[in-house]
Chains A and B, each alone.
Chain A
């Protein structure tokens, strides 16, 4: 029965077999698809709308969305700013500050290019801390600032120098514990969560470093060693930025930088 076929050169036979079987698979696949569209595919759906689902940020960033997109155009900086290896953001989100309505947006703007620990760990006077721009992905130190303000693909990271060796303060020594907690968080009850949180936040200081502790002459940060050109450094230390903060704290929010007197309702922060 197979005479023609079996008389052939093995290679030719193989080629024909491959050709015929792929053709068979294609035809059978097409036939199955036809049966699927005839009997199973939903006739009424709004595929034109639901297709191409993107995350909100992607849609905003690419401008591909139609509605709910940002009225003013938002660019890639919004996406890149949120890129961070920080474990803090896993719970606190990319816009972590939400409690103080008058400053939360400012603080969030800083969070795009500043490690949480830069403000939320208050070093002892005896500590030798250096602040450096480190690349968000590679961890390499920047040698100059390139890009739009704040969008250098890097973060200001506090580095503790002990006996000439630098240790990044934004890398928790308890990483394994935190990662394990992230997995278990959902099944923990409130008390268990609270207990874990105490350990996770043990290095976080009650009183963070405030705006006017950096934005002044010889403050916590040395803007010149943070690669800013002198004119920009001046603006940050004593110029318009600093004067805005002074005005702010004097006129609008005299109590803002004193958390003890601040009795604002603790708002529930949406979790990411």
Chain B
């Protein structure tokens, strides 16, 4: 599984996808930070001293700006997966299939040592699919409850309490899932340590692709071969 610097690279994320991802993670990071400042320990808050008031004010502003940003990027993404070609292929590959269950059980038994090799998986593995749709579920809840709390004057107090409970619960769940399920799995992965650069350059190495997305790798090779053949025949026709 060696991948040298001259190893063949495949496209994992397009530019649009990378931009969406950056907006998503920067604003989510800010939302988690400014949101959990409301749950802060008293001794930490006391350290802010007289600056606390100012910090609290900006906490609210930043949380709202980041909330708007994350809402917009989510809405854009919904349009993206419906309208754009790139998006449609994305969502098509993302849809859960029966094979995901097989892959999951096979991969788990490989990791635990009951199987010789990893199963050949698709463009998106079962765990990536779970994470992706978790974001839909989570975003729906935090955006709805967040909007409710932003327009508090129209809602009964109890509804706001319910919104608050959902907002906090979902935020805790999301933050933990992001840290443990996403950052620790994607970036603190010995295969790619110190960092999975796909979110910056959008590329995946051939070896990683073979290892983690075997079926997609084969599909891509076929597609590229077909493209080449077409290009070649076109070249012949032109000549």
Q: Which A residues are within 8 Å of any B CB, using their own CB?
A: 1-5, 7, 16-17, 19-20, 24, 27-28, 30-31, 34-35, 37-38, 47, 51-52
Name A19's closest neighbour in chain B (CB-CB): B194
- Tell me which residues across on chain B come within 8 A of A17, comparing CB atoms: 194
CB distance from A37 to the nearest CB of B (A): 5
- Tell me which residues across on chain B come within 8 A of A2, comparing CB atoms: 190, 193
- Tell me which residues across on chain B come within 8 A of A35, comparing CB atoms: 176
- Tell me which residues across on chain A come within 8 A of B188, comparing CB atoms: 20, 24
Name B36's closest neighbour in chain A (CB-CB): A34
CB distance from B26 to the nearest CB of A (A): 16
With A38-B172, A52-B46 already in contact, the answer to whether A27 and B179 are too (CB < 8 A) is yes
**Of A3, A16, A47, which one neighbours B42 at CB under 8 angstroms?**
A47
Q: Which B residues are within 8 Å of any A CB, using their own CB?
A: 1-5, 36, 39, 42-43, 46, 172, 175-176, 179-180, 183-184, 188, 190-191, 193-195
Q: Contact at A16–B190, with CB atoms within 8 Å?
A: no
C-alpha gap A52/B5 in the complex (Å): 57
C-alpha gap A4/B46 in the complex (Å): 44
- Tell me which residues across on chain B come within 8 A of A19, comparing CB atoms: 194
- Tell me which residues across on chain A come within 8 A of B194, comparing CB atoms: 5, 16-17, 19-20
CB distance from B34 to the nearest CB of A (A): 14
C-alpha gap A34/B39 in the complex (Å): 9
Interface of A is mostly: helix
CB distance from A62 to the nearest CB of B (A): 15
- Tell me which residues across on chain B come within 8 A of A51, comparing CB atoms: 42-43, 46
**Of B4, B39, B183, which one neighbours A37 at CB under 8 angstroms?**
B39
What total of A-B pairs shows CB separation below 8 Å? Answer: 45
CB distance from A5 to the nearest CB of B (A): 6
C-alpha gap A20/B196 in the complex (Å): 12
Name A7's closest neighbour in chain B (CB-CB): B5
- Tell me which residues across on chain B come within 8 A of A34, comparing CB atoms: 36, 172, 175-176
**Of A1, A30, A37, which one neighbours B179 at CB under 8 angstroms?**
A30
Name A20's closest neighbour in chain B (CB-CB): B194
8 tightest Cβ-Cβ pairs between the two chains A and B: A31-B179, A51-B42, A16-B194, A20-B194, A27-B179, A47-B42, A34-B172, A38-B172
Interface-central residue, A1, A35, A47, by most chain B CB under 10 Å: A1
Name A50's closest neighbour in chain B (CB-CB): B42
- Tell me which residues across on chain A come within 8 A of B1, comparing CB atoms: 1
Q: Contact at A27–B183, with CB atoms within 8 Å?
A: yes
Name A37's closest neighbour in chain B (CB-CB): B39
- Tell me which residues across on chain B come within 8 A of A4, comparing CB atoms: 5
- Tell me which residues across on chain A come within 8 A of B179, comparing CB atoms: 27-28, 30-31
C-alpha gap A224/B175 in the complex (Å): 74
Q: Contact at A1–B172, with CB atoms within 8 Å?
A: no
- Tell me which residues across on chain B come within 8 A of A1, comparing CB atoms: 1-2, 190-191
CB distance from B168 to the nearest CB of A (A): 9
- Tell me which residues across on chain A come within 8 A of B195, comparing CB atoms: 20
